[in-house]
Structure 1
């Protein structure tokens, strides 16, 4: 994630802009504060804080709120202190998750509060136009729920399957028909009136986990389900690599990732060779919990299949934490102890192993975080000679 705002500076030319960003950073959490509180938090003088807050109010970033007139049950003497709040409703961002079985859309304000959502079920065999149409329908539903229009959106991000190039083009996708060579963000952006940044879904799941989940600074997020993927957070930042292929351990021959889930689902217990492999895998996990030896052996084999790929990443970045997410995270009670035993035999340092608690929302949440980071970046990159107005940030 990007750092939100710089600390106050008193010896630089763009002093006003730095002070504006510092005041916004203090009020960004949504809690109204008095000028005295903001002054103390930023280190600015009370008078400077007042001037900056009034200017931000004029530009639509802040709103003055009713001051408390009671102190410990008694009326305060003198004029109540002026209080300001950040106008999170000034702008909104969109997070999209376009998956194999489902598309999801979340809309949040600038304080990251979700104000609208929409979803639709899709089929693995759906062609690209149908999948994008489903995403458009979910987006329309989210906008309607939030009572907003596309013009209210400042930034958007999308997570989807495959290797995503720096320009948002899907350079390789084995799961979604017609997805190779497509830039789905460019096809959605005209209906949002803003650019849509596209990223691999496992990467955004890692970002969502860092933001709303376990929160360690160096994390390997394993998206485990009927397919396998991984996202990397290194020193608090999403690491996508030069071509967007970081974490694509499935491309390593012998790692066991490409068909690990298939071998699990097509055991005699799962009977998922021609059917729903996710449902078949759930049957295997249930049987393993019930003590079925064949199911336990299948789970052992699945963990052994994925452990070498995870170990390769652990040995490379030495993370604090490995998070198991995706459709198989419900089986963490079976998978994590076995994975820990496998990794202990291969890695000199065993990181913490935890299951994600964010469920199906994790990719869309990561997309929201990426979109919010885009807004933060615009705030810090705006020329200090230009007024810091919402219109200026929205129009970049």
Structure 2
């Protein structure tokens, strides 16, 4: 076996220590670090000196028994690098700037002038992100990477290969367009895929390796995670089962409760009023819920019998009706003899997509984060 390059080994050790500190929920002592990395104390001290000098960690005081000096401990500094995310839909664009832990520092939203004009839409995305950067109070040089999320079939390189009702977007790579306006790289993906990533990082699917994230109504989409990775399938079409005519999702596009997932807040507000009527026992509103739940249950049954995820997460606005919708869906699955897969509402409200985008922006440069100071 050829000898290991010392420079490569130092980098691997530094990366291991960096990631351990970054993911830790609290400061780590030297003892915890040596156990977690299996590195010698001297090696760790040299790595921590570099990480401290570059602003990634700081030494902090933790509690002690009162005998002798307190143990040395180190805390990760998530604000040392920032990340950007942009979410596009047919109504608006939202841009955010966040720290390494995904904590939002600034958010800006713009109502789109013409979604069917990709150039104009992406100009508005640039404007929104520039405004978010200003609002964050940080220099643009602190941003290491960005990500853009949008509906439709989006391949692994961020290229739009199909978008229902807006074929003009086919062949556009929004991440490449945005990268021309900012001094940092961008990645791009389908919004439901990124919502699933965000849910696993910060939401209802934390600690779950396989699950499906689903929205249905005025917007339809599914993000499928298998063994910790987004499943794309042939031509990135996995999860687009919601388009299949046989499952009847088209019935929900104009349904009054379909407004829960509409990109326009006015439509969502009207649907939310119906949900309130359902909660109060209104029979007419209850009938609307039955109409809405039936085709959605068919989609769930198809997913349960094919992918068999151990968890389904409802999002994109469906969480607003979770208390009345989830029992209907679970009862329908049970009546059809489907496995009793738990159905939960997102715990991230409207931020799942953006958090997933931030996670993927971070992941896209994860190997480079230690190469230069923020």
TM-score, normalising length: structure 2:
0.85
Q: 1:255, 1:155 → 2: CA distance?
A: 39
Equivalent residue, structure 1, for 2:372: 390
**Do residues 313 (structure 1) and 295 (structure 2) align?**
no
Equivalent residue, structure 2, for 1:42: 37
Tell me: CA distance 1:367–1:255, structure 2 relative to 1, closer, same or farther (3 Å): same
- Equivalent residue of 1:301, what SS? helix
Q: 1:290, 1:66 → 2: CA distance?
A: 53
Q: 1:176, 1:107 → 2: CA distance?
A: 28
Deviation digits for residues 195-215 of structure 1 (CA, Å, limit 9, x no counterpart): 221111111111111111112
Q: 1:156, 1:331 → 2: CA distance?
A: 32
Deviation at 1:280, TM superposition (A): 4.5
Equivalent residue, structure 2, for 1:25: 19
Q: Is the 8 A contact 1:303 1:339 kept in 2?
A: yes
Deviation at 1:336, TM superposition (A): 0.8
RMSD: 3.1
Q: 1:241, 1:67 → 2: CA distance?
A: 49
Equivalent residue, structure 1, for 2:133: 143
Counterpart among 235, 242, 249 of residue 241 in structure 2: 249
Deviation at 1:177, TM superposition (A): 7.5
Equivalent residue, structure 2, for 1:345: 335
Which one has a larger percent helix, Structure 1 or Structure 2? 2
Equivalent residue, structure 1, for 2:215: 223
Deviation at 1:192, TM superposition (A): 2.0
Deviation at 1:277, TM superposition (A): 4.8
Q: 2:325, 2:39 → 1: CA distance?
A: 52
- Equivalent residue of 1:156, what SS? strand
Q: 1:284, 1:198 → 2: CA distance?
A: 35
Q: Is the 8 A contact 1:232 1:246 kept in 2?
A: yes
Q: Is the 8 A contact 2:20 2:36 kept in 1?
A: yes
Structure 1: which 5+ residue stretches go unaligned?
Answer: 1-10, 380-387
**Do residues 53 (structure 1) and 45 (structure 2) align?**
no
TM-score, normalising length: structure 1:
0.81
Greater Rg, structure 1 or structure 2? 1
Equivalent residue, structure 2, for 1:5: none
Structure 2: which 5+ residue stretches go unaligned?
Answer: none
Choose 230-239 or 198-207, whichever is displaced more: 230-239
**Do residues 370 (structure 1) and 352 (structure 2) align?**
no
